[in-house]
Each structure stands twice: as structure tokens, then as C-alpha cells.
Structure 1
Amino acid sequence: MPSPGPWGELMDGGGRGVIFTILSMGESREKRKQHLIAWNKVCLPKKEGGLGIRKAKDMNKALLAKVGWRLLHDKDSLWAHVLQSKYKVGYTQNISWTVPKSNWSSTWRSVGLGVREVILIDQSWVLGNGREIRLWKDKWLLNRLLMEILVRELPVDRVDERVRELWSDGT
């Protein structure tokens, strides 16, 4: 995931080796001392002894994934149509559109990376009526495409079959 830039580096303590300094509360001014604490420990949840501060890199990744999620699920929104047209995104459930191309802006590259690394890894289908799910080209049943585990070649006329097409009414 791309870094949120120099501000993110600064907010995350400038890298792994930088230390966060906390003044301890002593009884008197003379007893107050500086204690050096690793930034990774400061960023732990409060329940684990940290301060609960979130790393900028993690927040950036979460926000990019949120934009990607909305792109995949807000199918009727104007902004999604504009971006899909500009970057020639066809079927959003096919992950091939997340592979960066030379004409992509850095923002769009980051959104694609967020979708690929965060959302599509653990995304699964809810079958519903089966109209949207492509039987052979979507990972709706296993972690692999059914097309990839076929023993023999799939007839060309069945490649784009939907799950709904296999149902009989009433069953």
C-alpha cells in the first residue's frame, strides 16, 4: 500500500527507529523524567498497554479500501460511473481491473491496490437470486474459480452462464 506521503511518515514517527517520548508524572518537578517508548508500542490499543494512536499507513489503507468498497457496491452512483469509464473498468468483480496500468493516476492506483489487498482477499458472495453471479468466472463457491478446476474444457456457450440459469422453478 502506498505511503500517505511525508505527512504519514511524520505522523508515524518518521520510521521504525524513531522513539516516542513521554514525560512521566512524578511527585516533584525534579523526579519527572523522560521515558523512551517505541512508536509501535505507543500505537498498540489501550487494552494492550499502548495509547491507542492509529498509524497513518493503516488509516490510509482503510480509507482506500472504503473507497474501493463503495466503487464495487454503489453501482448507480455518478462518481463510480465516471471512474469506471475513465479507467475502463468493465465487470468490477473481475480483479483484472485492479492491476495498475501506465495511464492511471497515483490515487487510482492506490484504490486498485486497496481493493486487491484488502477487499478481494476476504470477499465472498451471498447467493441471493443468482442473477449477478457468473457460475464459472466468479469465486462464489470456493476460493478459486470453478473454471480453473474443471477437468475438461468448458464449451464456449457456457462460459458466461449465471448461477440463476441452473435453477429450476420451485426447486
Structure 2
Amino acid sequence: MNLFRLSKGFITEVHRLFALFWWESSDVEKRLHWGSWDKLCESKNDGGLGFCDLSLFNQAMLAKHCWRFIKWPNSLVVRVIKGRYFPTSDFLHATKCSSDSFVWKSFMWGRELIEAGSRWQIGNRSSTLIYEDRWIPRRHSFKVQSPRVLGRDAKVRLLLNTSAKEVEAILSIPTGSNLDDYLLWHFEKDGNYSLKSGYKLG
């Protein structure tokens, strides 16, 4: 489950078995279902029962591997995979191909979750692109929403002005660091990806 994307048919069948167990039903005797499976999978804070959605959990587990690809690019496993699938780029910019293995396609699906929940932490402002990269610390969109006034390849250090909606978020970014800009997971205080927050985001 943490190396392959499970098929929709398999997940549907497992969810069906969960539901039969929960409602104490069988193929012979049917009992009343008090809510849809999607509703049962919603978090308790949202009125559901917090049941695990296997598809989202599967993606969150694959995303954990993807986070390791990003954070430990010099490990032996990552170097082997890089040599096969993205020899001239980094993992975040690796491309998909129809001839790729099923495992690699599964990782590409997990990467979608990383892209949805990660953003760049600004350090020396030398590498993060203003309009293309995700770097503004706000919950729903990490990209600049203001009209473009600079070129596509402009870095954060060249940012001159922005809309009033983004000023507060941008001003909250610590400055003065000599470290390179680095990727962090927005939904954890320490900036590292966790299965729990990845599943919740999914």
C-alpha cells in the first residue's frame, strides 16, 4: 500500500466489506445504513465518524516516500531512482511517461499531495520564483495571486510590490537568513511531512 497505488475497484470492494461489518449486514440480510460511506469517512470535526478512506491513506503513504526523495536526494535509493526516471532534473520537476513503471506512476500520484501541501521557505531569496513557485504562507494558495509586474523568471528578491491581500502573509516571512530557500510542509510546525497531516489534506 505504501509502494503502489491501489485500484479504485479494490478500494471500493474493501470499503464495501468495511460497511457490511460496521452495519452487521451480510449478503443475505441487509440492515439500514445510517449514512453514506463518504460521510462516515469525514473527520469527526466535520460531523463524520473519522473512518479511514483507503484511497486518501494510500496517497498519503506514497507522499511520504516522495518527501524522502526531496529531503534526502543523496541517499542510495533516491540516486538509483533518479538515474532511471529524472536524471537531468529534481524530483519535483520529474515528468511522467506512458512507459513508466507502475511504481513510478504511483509515486507521481503521491507527489500531487506534496505539491498541494508544501511551499518554499524563503532564506536568502535567491532561488524561489515569484510567480511560479509556492512560497506565500497561507492555507489555501501558496502562489502569488496579484497581476504579474515582473518577468516569469523573477526571483523573490526582486519583488517590489503586491496586492493588499498578500502583504500580511508576505510580511510574516522571517528575513535575513543566509540559508538557501528550502521546501517545507506547510501543515506541520516543524515543516516535515507527516502521514496524519497528509491524509487530512487529502
Q: By the TM > 0.5 criterion, same fold?
A: yes
5+ residue gaps in structure 2?
Answer: 25-29, 137-142, 158-177, 179-202
TM-score normalised according to structure 2 size: 0.52
TM-score normalised according to structure 1 size: 0.59
Contact 1:74–1:80 (8 Å) recurs in 2: yes
**Helix, strand or coil for the counterpart of 1:35?**
coil
Contact 1:20–1:38 (8 Å) recurs in 2: no
- Residue in structure 2 matched with residue 91 of structure 1 by the alignment: 89
Map residues 80-159 of structure 1 onto 2, 5 A cutoff: 80-92=78-90, 94-95=92-93, 97=94, 99-115=95-111, 117-129=112-124, 133=127, 139=133, 143=143, 149-150=150-151
Measured on the aligned residues, the alpha-carbon RMSD in Å equals 3.9
Cα deviation, 1:101-145, whole Å, max 9, x if unaligned, reads 133111101211221x211234221233457x366896265737x
Q: Which amino acid aligns with 1:139?
A: D
Distance 1:150 1:50, change over 3 A: closer
Aligned length: 138
- Residue in structure 1 matched with residue 77 of structure 2 by the alignment: 79
How far has the Cα of 1:59 moved from its partner? 0.7
Q: Which 4+ residue blocks in structure 1 deviate beyond 4 angstroms?
A: 18-21, 134-138
Q: Does 1:52 align with 2:36?
A: no
- Tell me how far apart the structure 1 counterparts of residues 45 and 20 of structure 2 sit (CA, whole Å): 21
- Tell me how far apart the structure 1 counterparts of residues 6 and 119 of structure 2 sit (CA, whole Å): 29
Q: Which amino acid aligns with 2:109?
A: L
Contact 1:125–1:140 (8 Å) recurs in 2: yes
Q: Which amino acid aligns with 1:70?
A: R
- Residue in structure 2 matched with residue 4 of structure 1 by the alignment: 6
Q: Which amino acid aligns with 2:122?
A: L
Q: Does 1:35 align with 2:38?
A: no
- Tell me how far apart the structure 2 counterparts of residues 140 and 50 of structure 1 sit (CA, whole Å): 31
- Tell me how far apart the structure 2 counterparts of residues 38 and 20 of structure 1 sit (CA, whole Å): 14
Q: Which amino acid aligns with 1:150?
A: G
**Structure having greater relative contact order (Cα 8 Å, sep ≥ 6):** 2
**Helix, strand or coil for the counterpart of 1:100?**
coil
Cα deviation, 1:59-109, whole Å, max 9, x if unaligned, reads 1111111111111111221111110111134332653x1x31133111101
Greater Cα radius of gyration, structure 1 or 2: 1
5+ residue gaps in structure 1?
Answer: 24-32, 164-169
